[in-house]
Structure 1
Amino acid sequence: MDFYNNNANILKKIDFDLFNKISKINISNNLYNIVKTRVGDYTLKIVSDDILDSYECFLHSKYNPKKEAVLFANAQIDNNVDINIVYGFGLGYHIEEMLKKIDRDKKLYVVDINLQVFKLALILRDLREVLLDNRLKLIISDDEKYIATKLKGLLIDGSKFIIHTASIKTIPNKYQDFKFVIENWNIKKSLTDKWVNLLSENLEKNKNIKCKNIGVLFNKYKNKPLIIVSAGPSLNKNKHLLHKLKGKAFVFAVGSALKPLLEIGFKPNMFCIIDPQDITYKQIEGYENLDIPLVFLDTASSYTVSKYLGPKYIACNDVNRIENKEYLIDSGGSVATAVMDIAIKFGANPIVFIGQDLAYTNNEHHAKGDMYGEEKKVKNLPNMRKIIGQNGEVLNTTLGLLSFKYWIENKIKDTPDVEFINCTEGGVFIKGCKHMKLDYFIKNYISLKGK
């Protein structure tokens, strides 16, 4: 089964630097087990015992890798673009099939950061025909900056980025940031594809709502303390303290935090909804006629927005859909990140987070755990991620929540003139924030300044 010499001789001619690196690579038998499939081809069993990300999975089908590859190629190749880019060489089954599907005048770029797996592909399979195909371009390197630079130049109009999902599992742990970018791209693309029609429908219907843009309030709260209230499980620990902030700080709630606050008799100054799904109506059900302003993204659920009878402000995150470009917001993908960007544009300082767990603290979904009919306790699903919490504990989270964490941290880094404080009593550690309990913040930032 050793095809290495024949494959390597070709690689040496087409990419000497890659050949040189590959020739020096040692393969870890602890991470990759070679498995013979039912049809006689080979796949790899990937084993990770990392405390935060332990799993076992197959790189290709353990039954029929070639049949699986045909299905992948049929679903992914797009001959309407000049360049198809795929992350993950794997053992090359899907690359071989993609080259069969792609037009003669098109290019297929293959990106991978795992040299061990690529070397195994050269050992286990006869890839001479694949490597000699002049439509194939390899971007295989253990230098993540090199890969990022190459990808940046390719991800333009006229290209399609495809991810061989199983190959994400082969990204070495030392490249966690790179792995996150690839995974996050994958999930965002899936969500965009899933919601594109719903977003368009909401946009058209929301155009009929007569209200001001939230941009009219930008810079109206200069140096005023602003509390962003999210609905993470830890909100239950300190939401009662918000009464002490009445009239002393601007309290801006995400939609899912509205009911937990109203149920303790506290009315926030404003709340926000950006989700396109009609299930968000549950966030306001029974409270449709409040005097609390609702900020809604122009693609948010038109049903929920129309049901709310209180004051409204519209927000937009697309430069092509807004007349006054100064009113544009950066929504960041979640309602909490959207509120954060609006808070910064308000001119608020400091900006304080509560209920921003970004993880399933105590294995719970939200402060009001059954709002959407789900079980209160989160099931430990295989696609979950692990992260170290503020107190050193291991917490369950998701790729989506991690993307919001990194977005928030980058936004903090880009906003050095604003003080950010995390008063969430649980959940993840947010870089760039001061971390303290809410009662300490009230005593030292609000009460003392009021004297």
Structure 2
Amino acid sequence: MQWLVERAKNEEPTLQLNGVFIYSKYRPKEDALRWINAEINAEAKSYLLIGLGLGYHLKALISQSKNKPVTVYYFDKHEYELFLAHNSDQWWKKENVHIVHDLSQKELHDNVQILLPNVWIKGIGQSHPLFSILEVIKINQLSFKRDSSKMEENFYYNTILDDDIIQVKKQSRIGCLVAAGPSLNDTILWLKKYQHQVDIYVVGAALKKLLANGIIPKGAILSDANDVTILQFQDLNFEGELYYLCTANYKSVALHCSKRYILFQQGYKLAEEEAEKRNAPLIETGGSVGTTAFSLLEYLGYDTVVLFGQDLGFPGNQTHAIDSTSGRNASNDTFLRNIEANDESNIHTTAMFQVFWYWYDQKMEKTKVKVFNTAIKGAKIKNVPLIREEKFAELIEKSE
């Protein structure tokens, strides 16, 4: 890691990491304080700041933290030495302030706010071992910040519907989780052939595609807070079950006139409080409707789940299946990265898909569900073997 201290326009020291400015080139201390004031959550019980640098964000955070515990993580020895060299008065020597190079579960509890300036992710670069983890955190933070007011509005309208909550019971059939990845163009024929022998659950983006092919899912899953999902549920004659997050788009929920189940997600305060009132379970979301759907099937009691269209990557330029209500052409996307596919080839993925892939990779180390993936050119997920149609038919035969 290449560190470089320079002088800003106002003569304060500023810092570059691998050619990326960590602070402003004009007013570094003032801008760091402005960032902290914009980001800090006064309701947090403690704070975890990623990146020590010259200490500008840390000093601003201490001034606003009201003596709550503050932990700051530094990336390497040289960074820490630069910090000490530019802060000889030791203003950070307080009982509530901890400067660390290793993180433990103690710093990552539920009531901590993680403060992560985006420049640190750019500065450390994709080759750094923490890049993917920090990128996941930042994407989730930005997504929540963007949608928070809409989520709260949806929560109000959805919770007054008084829809049912889910119940756990042992499932004897195989659960099929259908997302809208490109491989669905090929494997949709499997679903059509075996649909009466399995339980099919589909994300909203792939619902119309299944119905157009004569496939009637047992349930559809909705998680997105925004109006974009209205198109997924408009003009449908779908009489299956709808499972929706309490913060999902309430207009889309209202379009479904058959059986509905409301879901409450971990990590969202209003949802956790409402779940406690209703004695309802909390669902892991993982940041996408596909990962939410997997958590749902796991909770519903399926021993075996087969993934359809959960590619999390793509070999060409098309990110989603043809005729799905999501997707884009990625031919001009300069932020693509490569990932190993189920057939051991290299495919493209995006930052957002990589967030969901990382969630699956972590989840598969803990779940007791046997999971298979039908996407030959989909991203390889730990402990999730590729399954061909013949093996799929064998699994169904055994389950019967």
TM range (shorter): 0.7 to 0.9
Q: Report Cα offsets for 1:230-274 as digits up to 9, x if no partner.
A: 111222232122111121111111111112222223222221111
Verify the 8 A CA contact 1:108 1:135 in the aligned structure 2.
no
Is it true that 1:137 corresponds to 2:118 in the alignment? Answer: no
Q: Residue 321 of structure 1 aligns to which amino acid in structure 2? A: E
The Cα of 1:102 is off from its aligned counterpart by 3.6
Per the alignment, residue 387 of structure 1 pairs with 339
Q: Give, in whole Å, the separation in 1 of the partners of 2:165 and 2:272.
A: 14
Task: State the alpha-carbon separation in 1 of the partners of residues 182 and 143 from structure 2.
Answer: 25
Q: Could you report, residue by residue, the CA deviation over 1:27-67 in whole angstroms, capped at 9, with x for unpaired residues?
A: x5xx34555544455544434xxxxxxxx532223344334
Match for 1:423 among 374, 377, 380? 374
Alignment partner, residue 444 of structure 1: 394
CA distance in 1, matches of 2:46, 2:279: 33
Aligned AA for 2:350? Answer: T
Report the counterpart of residue 66 of structure 1 in structure 2: 29
Partner residue of 2:79 out of 106, 112, 117: 117
Q: Which residue of 2 aligns with 1:282?
A: 231
Q: Does 1:164 align with 2:127?
A: no
Stretch of structure 1 that moved more, 198-207 or 350-359? 198-207
Distance 1:150 1:448 in 2: 45
Per-residue CA shift, 1:204-242, capped at 9, x if unaligned? 222343543332xx32523x1111111112222321221
Instruction: Find the residue that maps to 2:80 and give its secondary structure.
Output: helix
Do residues 128 (structure 1) and 128 (structure 2) align? no
1:433, CA displacement in angstroms? 1.0
Structure 1 pair 103/275, CA: closer, same or farther in 2 (3 Å)? closer
Counting only pairs closer than 5 Å after superposition, residues 252-263 of structure 1 correspond to structure 2 as: 252-263=201-212
Instruction: Let me know the Cα RMSD of the aligned residues.
Output: 3.3
Match for residue 8 of structure 1?
none
Cα distance change on mapping 1:392 and 1:34 into 2, 3 Å: farther
2:97 is aligned with 1:148? no
1:46 and 2:17 equivalent?
A: yes
2:289 corresponds to which of 332, 335, 345: 335
1:349 maps onto 2:310 in alignment: no
User: Match for residue 13 of structure 1?
Assistant: none
> What does residue 87 of structure 1 align with?
50
The count of residues paired between Structure 1 and Structure 2 equals 393
Return the alpha-carbon distance in structure 1 between the equivalents of residues 213 and 64 of structure 2: 61
Q: What is the TM-score normalised by the length of structure 2? A: 0.84
Please say if residues 231 and 355 of structure 1, whose CA atoms lie closer than 8 Å, have aligned partners that are also in contact: yes
Question: Structure 1: how far apart are the matches of 2:92 and 2:281?
Answer: 52
Match for residue 248 of structure 2 among 300, 309, 313: 300
Q: Deviations over 1:135-169 (max 9, x none)?
A: 6724232xx3xx224514xx565x64322332234
Residue in 2 aligned with 1:410? Answer: 362
For residue 171 of structure 2, what is the aligned residue in structure 1?
221
Paired with 1:436 and 1:184, the residues of 2 have a C-alpha distance of: 28
Q: Of 318, 325, 334, which residue of structure 2 is paired with 1:371?
A: 325
Higher radius of gyration, 1 or 2? 1
> Which whole-Å CA distance do the structure 2 matches of 1:103 and 1:258 have between them?
47
Change in 2 beyond 3 A, CA 1:130/1:396: farther
Which ranges in structure 1 are unaligned for 5 or more consecutive residues? 1-27, 48-55
Aligned to 1:204: 156
Task: Give the secondary-structure state (helix, strand or coil) at the position aligned to 2:202.
Answer: strand
- Whole-angstrom CA distance in 2 between matches of 1:361 and 1:187: 24
Offset of residue 282 of structure 1: 1.1
What secondary structure does 1:86 align onto?
strand
Q: Distance in 1 between matches of 2:93 and 2:281?
A: 50
- Mapped to 2, the partners of 1:447 and 1:156 lie a distance apart of 44
Q: In the alignment, is the contact (CA less than 8 A) between 1:88 and 1:168 conserved in 2?
A: no
- Counterpart residue number, 1:4: none
Q: Deviation of residue 385 (structure 1)?
A: 4.9
Q: 1:214 to 1:449 in 2, by over 3 A?
A: closer
The SS at the match of 1:212 is: coil
Contact 1:225 1:250 in 2 (8 A): yes
Q: Which moved more, 1:334-343 or 1:423-432?
A: 334-343
Instruction: Name the aligned partner's letter for residue 243 of structure 1.
Output: K
Give the letter aligned to residue 310 of structure 1: S
Q: Percent identity over the alignment?
A: 24
Cα distance in 2 for partners of 1:151, 1:331 equals 22
